[in-house]
Amino acid sequence: MKLLFVGDVIGKPGRRALLRLLPRLIDERRADYVVVNVENAAGGFGVTPDVLDELSELPIHCLTTGNHVWDKKEVAELFEREPRLLRPANYPAGNPGRGLHVGETAAGVPVATVNLEGQVFMRNVESPFATADRLLAELGGRAKVVFVDFHAEATSEKQALGVYLDGRVSAVVGTHTHVPTADERILPGGTAFQTDVGMTGPYEGVIGFRSDRVLQRFLLQTPASFEVAKRDVRLAALEVEIDEATGRARSLERLLVPDREG
């Protein structure tokens, strides 16, 4: 089977690119299962009911997020109505939402998606390593194919989790930095890995936002509101071919598709 993962969708430019490009990409790549990170989909920060409604016609099997998941107050309601929407599983107990989703392909192959957040340079969340152990134990044998979206800042932490889960999950793919890395590979135990898949949004600015607003923060060291940039929009994704009988990755390919209309 082929799993297609689309990296952080940034604001309206990213959503438009996703709406235009994803259906064609699914057909061309013959993708069986689609996971999309939407944590920046609402104006660059968080996700809202209107955003999910806009994306509802797309054949997406699971939606992941990250540290901006709490930026919109409506998210608690979204977790109640949309079981495909995940938040990092290693937030303290008592938070709304869940960090594990089990869906299936059209052929009936179960696919588990795990959403985790890093600790290094991030919030004081629980250990992603221990949380992964717990979720895999809870999962049991319900799914051989297990995909992990690891939303983290430090490349070392992302690579460490990949090594830690090698042979136990099908893929560990990083998000959060918005910069695609060229280190995609299959680890010795059969787990596909990429430090960061990159963002689906405008590459003209700084990690998807207008350069002048970002520079104001760096130059003056005072608060400045960020605004999503508009031009050079691209869709960043990773395609992973997985043996559904063993859960091991067979191949993977990094994708960066320009939105010619964006």
Q: With H, G, I as helix, E, B as strand and everything else as coil, classify residue 197.
A: coil
Enter the tokens of residue 233.
Answer: 């929009």
The closest of 99, 155, 108, 107 to 132, measured between CA atoms, is 99
The closest of 162, 166, 170 to 189, measured between CA atoms, is 166
Enter the tokens of residue 107.
Answer: 């052929």
**Residues 178 and 214: beta-carbon distance below 8 Å:** no
The catalytic site residues sit at: 68
Enter the tokens of residue 232.
Answer: 């050079």
Please give the single-letter amino acid code of residue 223: P
Separation of alpha carbons 48 and 43, rounded Å? 10
The residue count for the chain: 262
The closest of 106, 99, 63, 109 to 82, measured between CA atoms, is 63
Per DSSP, 92 falls in state P
∠ CA 44-195-86, nearest 5°, is 50
